[in-house]
């Protein structure tokens, strides 16, 4: 049997590199893309009944200020002695962790993104939102300007698109004499509390 010619082996290896390297790069890219798509769409934590921690009682809005569904108001709440950005909505339907007063439904959420802590904003134009956040819906939602994560108020603040995995923590609401009060917050309070 003939011995392999080392010259031929070297030539074959160089030629092989011309397809091995691009193939490896392409396979790696599509593998990364598939993994990222999986993370973005299929690894979102669900929203269940909150476990509340007692907090200061603060007036956050009057019922008149939230007279119709999708009216909202930003407010600051205290978390560990520091102001925490939050939002309260009136919603068209009850949601877990929210408050119902008569026929009106409310939900209060932290505005601190559970991905890397940017402040999320109320996105009131679903058409523009679908372009900027790639999240298609027919109603307002919360969007994070840093990496375009989207959160759904009708699902109790669940992360629905982008890098965030965990929902926005809810704040406990109570009503008295036409005023909504925040009286505590959900724990773990991500991302400020691990859990």
| Pattern 40-79, ligand FES, x by CB under 6 A | ----------------------------------------
Smallest distance from ligand FES to CB 118, Å: 4
Q: Which one of 47, 113, 123, 160 is in contact with ligand FES (CB under 6 A)?
A: 113
Size of the site for ligand FES (CB under 6 A): 11
Q: Which one of 86, 144, 171, 180 is in contact with ligand FES (CB under 6 A)?
A: 144
Smallest distance from ligand FES to CB 16, Å: 41
Q: Which one of 147, 174, 178, 188 is in contact with ligand FES (CB under 6 A)?
A: 147
Q: Which one of 63, 96, 101, 118 is in contact with ligand FES (CB under 6 A)?
A: 118
Smallest distance from ligand FES to CB 146, Å: 4
Q: Which long-range contacts (CB under 8 A, 24 or more apart) does 144-148 make?
A: 144/113, 144/115, 144/118, 144/119, 144/120, 145/118, 145/120, 145/121, 146/113, 146/115, 146/116, 146/118, 147/115, 147/116, 147/118
Alpha carbon distance 87, 102 (integer Å): 21
Applying CB under 6 A, the span of 11-19, 73-81, 125-133, 145-153 interacting with ligand FES comes to: 145-153
User: Which positions lie near ligand FES, rule CB under 6 A?
Assistant: 113, 115-116, 118, 144, 146-147, 149, 162-164
């Amino acid at each position: 049997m003939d011995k392999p010619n080392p010259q031929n082996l070297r030539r074959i290896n160089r030629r092989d590199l011309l397809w091995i390297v691009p193939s490896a790069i392409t396979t790696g890219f599509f593998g990364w893309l598939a993994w990222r798509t999986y993370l973005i769409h299929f690894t979102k934590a669900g929203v269940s009944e909150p476990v509340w921690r007692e907090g200061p009682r603060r007036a956050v809005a009057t019922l008149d200020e939230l007279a119709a569904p999708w009216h909202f108001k930003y407010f600051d709440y205290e978390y560990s002695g520091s102001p925490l950005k939050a939002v309260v909505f009136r919603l068209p339907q009850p949601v877990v962790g929210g408050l119902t007063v008569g026929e009106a439904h409310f939900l209060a959420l932290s505005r601190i993104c559970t991905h890397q802590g940017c402040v999320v904003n109320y996105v009131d134009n679903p058409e523009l939102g679908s372009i900027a956040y790639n999240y298609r819906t027919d109603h307002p939602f919360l969007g994070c300007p840093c990496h375009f994560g989207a959160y759904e108020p009708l699902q109790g603040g669940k992360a629905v698109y982008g890098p965030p995995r965990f929902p926005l923590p809810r704040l406990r609401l109570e009503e008295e004499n036409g005023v909504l009060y925040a009286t505590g917050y959900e724990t773990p309070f991500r991302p400020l509390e691990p859990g």
